[in-house]
Amino acid sequence: MQDINIKITDRDGVTHDIVAPTDMAMNLMEVVRSYELAPEGTIGVCGGMAMCASCQCYVKSNHQLPEMSDDEDAMLAEAFDVEDNSRLGCQIQMTPELNGLEVELAPES
């Protein structure tokens, strides 16, 4: 298994180069939390069930991402600051294909 390199821009606009494991069943929200790129309690509030949108992010690179589930789609329909490239971090698993992924965290709401 390999680690992948991803770029995450936090809510203060600072971009971090992060190494994320692909063999730990981690999703993007969990990567953000493990690197403490957003304060505890402001991200991953529902624990990763696509039920709170606190891990919303904007995908800046052209990666082929896993298709959106109905749950994620419906949650984004109720979230704020949603753009065409919005996704929920908790629904994006870290896989080797996502090497080079660039995302920006959406504002806290």
Partner 1 sequence: MITTDILIIGAGPTGLFTVFEAGLLKLKCHLIDALPQAGGQCSEIYPKKPIYDIPAYPEILAGDLTDKLMEQIKQFEPGFTLGERADTLEKQDDGTFIVTTNKGTKHHAKVVAIAGGLGSFEPRKPKLDNIAKFEDKGVEYIIKEPEFYRNKNVVIAGGGDSALDWSIFLSDVAKSVTLVHRRNEFRGALDSVEKVQELKDANKIALITPAEITGILGEDKVTGLTIQKKGQEAFTIDTDHFIPLFGLSPKLGPLGNWGLEIEKNAIKVNNALDYQTNIPGVYAIGDVNTYPGKLKLILCGFHEATLMCQSAFQRIFPDKKYVMKYTTVGGVEGFDGTKKEAPKAVVKAIQ
**Footprint of partner 1 on this chain (CB under 8 A)?**
36, 39-42, 45-46, 49, 51-52, 54, 74-75, 77-78, 80-82, 109
Q: Under a CB-based contact definition with an 8 Å cutoff, are residues 86 and 75 in contact? A: no
| 90 phi and psi angles, rounded to 5 deg | -70, -10
Least Å from the CB of residue 21 to partner 1: 20
**Which CB, 3 or 51, lies closer to partner 1?**
51
Least Å from the CB of residue 96 to partner 1: 28
Distance of CA 103 to the CA centre of its chain: 7
Least Å from the CB of residue 89 to partner 1: 16
**Which CB, 5 or 85, lies closer to partner 1?**
85
**Which CB, 39 or 100, lies closer to partner 1?**
39
**Which CB, 46 or 102, lies closer to partner 1?**
46
Tell me which H or E stretch contains 88.
strand 86-88
Q: Under a CB-based contact definition with an 8 Å cutoff, are residues 89 and 29 in contact? A: yes
- Cβ atoms within 10 Å, residue 25: 9
